[in-house]
Structure 1
């Protein structure tokens, strides 16, 4: 299959509004052409031009014959282009001769210089009844005849009509009880129409190109094929009375392809020809043929063509194609922005793309470099757009070396409008904290389950998991019935993990610590990372000590692990951080106390740590803010119960929600269903809707502004929890979305961009 980008339309053409607009025009010829029912003359008209582009793939519109014959019926009901009239026993039948001919094995009887049947037909045999002819006509247009209500004598009338008009297909169906579907009969009729077209039989109009090529056709087929030709030939315009119509501004091969589609429902498509064809089909309002072009464009996009497809879709208002093209550009932005064609993208489109959270890049510097390459293509013309484009670059996600790279760009120093960007980069270069623009991009997110353990199918033992499952679709049944369709995404490298932690940074998923089995020596210090742009696993250096039931967060381009269980007998206050730039683990200031089963989250550039159990198994209600060099600072403690552990804490809408886990009872621990929310501006807690089911050591994440609490177990019943609960802020309640593929506990959950290969 050829790949060549836009030929007559480029991104630059659209930007500068010089796209050639092939609006179909018609023109009367100077002399009225000879009436074209002379089939001998039509055989001289070429149906296959030598200028037609080669190396094409054939695309077929399903059920095209049904569509075409439905339009024939519409034309007949509106009494348009009727050229066949017959009066039988005082009842007049009017139809299209071409359609009536398709039901006959001898279609030439209805055409020619002196057709046997046609307008003004005189001697009608007595055995040809209105009922019999009406049945033939119904078969011609609909592909079937309702005969169940006919009596025997009436059936004979239909058979007589079939014999007289040589309608063998209908006659065989009646006498031999050979039944086929109406759609198959229409397929056969369409093949007969194409055969008549190939032979020039019954053609009554010529379509002419600017260069003189002429293509014969049937008016009724063109009118049934598309709204443009219907208006042209049935709307009372001058062309409706002419035998030749000239279409200006169209290549001869385009006209040939369009006319050929009318008779076959097929298009030969390649990257060399699809652009001009799409333009013509859009102007002709041929939705069926246009859908074939959009299927071709959508299915064959790559880095060199997706921008062209996106511009074309937006030019013609092809919404579905535009959405697919934009998703492709966003998903493959690194490769797309490296293409030469990227430099011609219109500002309005580039400005919109850079603002998307779903822009998929492994590092934010890629976005900055894309802005640089675009502006430097035409510095004088594009410099006024620079500040707007730079406002979409999330500078705090840069590494120190990337900050220095950006500061070396000279255009930053040439305008007062870029001063804010320059000042931000200079502050980052000094190591200062910059609070705005920190949100990592999160393209095409889906809910993903990572690891955990569950009871095996025989209910004999617990089995740790290596699986990453994602929720492919959420289904709603009657009443409260809910179901989730899960699909396996990938597997964690050995060993399996549960009681581990995960976090996301710069389109990489970090999987940290946990345990591989249930012994005191099975606690892990290993770490792995999944590159979400290349979908490849990387083994990272080990943490400085093993840990499970701990918390992990990402802040200031570092991955932090906080506290946890060391060996089933020792809890730790240790905090470490991993620097992706240096590929090393280092120690940070410890927590205020050794803790296990706590939760952590980042809000407004600060790490918050809540709850957990201390070394004496006391359940804590404390909330801290943590700074890597200064340690912990107490905030207002949680207010529900006497403490909380084995829970999740999620940041959403500028607040922190704690949900799930256990609370201390007079003897032991019990499930905690009550939730609460912390407002850092007021340093206070308030009530939050309670969970409908217990979730001890669940997974939790935020996706599209909704909170998800998944799996875990119940302290009261010692049973695993298989449910996925979601809190929607608009509904202000928790909703049970359905069950996990297995009732996992001690799992991790996150929202990941779905890789293109799984869509």
Structure 2
């Protein structure tokens, strides 16, 4: 019988927590009884208010900024502290630093005042009219926090009318997560988007990217052809040269001869006709070229989520297997819907899920672009540095570059298209390391380490930051289960403390749902937990919601269709195969279909499979 949540760790019981009323003033006492390190966490509010009042009244201002339409006065030290751009421009060696004048001829005074208000107060009035302009300025001035807030605002207000323009501005400013969300909405609402008059204003690269998506919610390729022809006809002399590249991305082979002749006639009428287009429209399904998978497009017009669980330990045996649950399944299976054939031609069949190269438990997991990344972990004999990626498109596992050191109990997340893995335990200690994966060069690069070395914690991306929550930490020669949490800002490459959990815990689940963090279950050093806490990043506050039905640790956690799923784990007395899901709207937990195998130290993921409802 397993005595703790992880046989390689022996955490000591959590130390007493500081009472809530005493946390505002944190201090240390030396041997003489004097107090040191006294702090008032409200002091920065007073300083910020004072600086803003001085700016509003032009008190002690020492910088003049000339914009398109306004002259604005500000404080050099405040701007330099908030922005690397201003810090460089106002350095002593440059003209702006010597003349006390900064000329921004291409910047609107109204927009600059929004940015300066944020610099002085941390607040910005963002609207659908100004947010894209503010994002441009935040990126230009390198104000990373404001850039994140603009991305959050744009994501929150994404719509059919704005998703393509948001994609373009997000791609321009390297806001990869926002760009992915906007492109996903454009794919799911493709019929509506290409029929809008504003579609003709879309950039050519955006259309090419959209047509590259395997899932587009359209009834037929004809809808896409019609939208592309209308787009090209808006500026035929300039845009006709891009038509062959766009038509190559369509399944022209799926059109009968009558339709092909119809579209060639329209192209001639609109003066968009070229020899290359004739060649493309003359291809047939029975021709040699059309049998090429690069030409015969595998367009899907529906998309569905499936749950995956993988890795872990079951009755003393480490697992390489993966289980899948999808809409329409009556039980968990070791097969996944086959997305290798277009839904136009036949319904999906099932394909067997391959096994991982390495059996492992307590590995880190992250999901991006429907690929599942498995990092580190442990076997019965050793810790692992190996990493693998499961790709749903070809149903295969692929090896990635090894981690710098073998670790288990690490946690991983994607932030703005970058894979991060943080913490974990090596042979001797829990590490604070944060690593970022350069997939192009297949190397891991070190980033600013966490404030606390920790393992068996949670790591999640929310509003442009990474959050590390709870876990096991080093304490002298032993270990300690901590309630501490911290936040990483990739722009400044720094970690800062945030509000601690109400309950110290490790081996927990951490999920993001509706702009909140959910810390679920775990182990506090003495008992297994069903407690669930929710973090509000705007208030820096954790609050409790309904607990799980069963206390558990070392389980898999994922989000699907607006619900949190907790799968398997260890209850303190037995290994579980049960699954619970949480509905945030009703604040209730429900038992759902159990997995085939009982397993703990597992991971879970949600991926999209084209062709499912």
TM-score, normalization by structure 1: 0.40
TM-score, normalization by structure 2: 0.49
Greater gyration radius = 1
Which structure is higher in RCO with an 8 Å CA cutoff and minimum separation 6? 2
